[in-house]
Structure 1
């Protein structure tokens, strides 16, 4: 794809890393796409036409529609049709077989224009599954109503925990524990108490890893930094952040003060969610990831023991077994 369509690398304003790219096809030219968008409009929905995926990336970005949730909602409908749960009659006559590009483009346009079944698709996979029923809920890949990314947590356990505990639902960027993909085992033992923290297939030590990277991710947001640099490249720590804050504000920041503020923010975030009805049962993953082992590849036979990891996470946070922060 890069050889055929990519014209140049592209960076965000004032950044010299240029980790994005600019592409041109016979129909469109635009920035991107990022991995998740490309996956969402190719393998996730059975599409092998890359030019079509690039066109959808440009259109969705222009219209302000989230490509990840849009792709998952379409994929859910296609799987439900494949399983015989629904037919085209349930979807305004649209043929939701895998890779049907005409249907994909039509439903995206109907979502944008809020026409017909597009009004229901615009509300996301959880809404569709709950309202249409017939067992389709089992195939809705969301956490707390937010659709999960293409990264299958059965092969990246810390990411699975991240999806489960993120306050806004299946959001990989609330922690993005990239460290588990590094195989830096000696460093893992020093920082997180076990070599398994750097082993993507192990659930051991992942609660400690996620609890740390959750704070690190929040710090990059507070400093308006790019998470590719501050988090995935693992260059930002609390002492360095305090140096930046002292230089920029003149206030007496320390690493400990920064860390305490981050912990308080996350706790308050949790308390607000509890006020809105979130409980420990919501800190989980879709049935597929916890009960259906992968059948091939290096992650074969893997599922996510999410309940055990969530319990460990609560303990590290100092919350009770129901995920409620204890009064200090």
Structure 2
């Protein structure tokens, strides 16, 4: 796990609009779920803010802990009516997962997660098997995240641990916002596996490989290059987005109305409570600023 970067910051400063910061950066690495949409609908102001950043010279790469490859996410964004001009490219933890699995040709893989994620493995030299025949496990999520919790997986995880199987986590998020509620993600199952003594490999934020892939993608888009100190990460999660950005050496902008909305009293884009915000960031990695929702 990435170590949290300790600071003496009491609370991040309020940013009135993304226009205050955007012109200072060549590259914007923006989270998707909780910033651009909430799983049910797009946030038009956030999409417009990213479009205007591009108009003003920045490249925008959407970086998501979604367990599926970027093509699936582009299709989902189209379905949610996110304008194509919002971003230049997408990089997902699913892309990193595929890169990792491609290094293990011929592996017998046990998949934990919903059937809709099976496309993550398309075209790879793998055999999908039951748990007893597998020599590797990949978790993309819960089978039914509407009703299940990590506790429902303890018995299965214990058997996998007893066999010494490496557990690849294709989505390090613990929870994600879906409309007005939070649902568990693969990261919660991976944490449970580690608690049982198993070994987990995390493929997305806050870990380095996904940032390396995002930078490589961005450099291919920008022949003029990316100047030092001119990368900004935007996200709604302290554990993944903000701590990950700081560990990677990037600035960050925190969106308060995502997964921390309830504890910050920032539901539906309300102004976050200052004391709650100070408490969230006290002693932790901190962003350059905070907004209730992303807007220009």
More helix by share: 1
- Fold shared by both chains (TM-score > 0.5): no
From the two aligned structures, give the one with the greater strand fraction: 2
Higher relative contact order (CA 8 A, sep 6+): 2
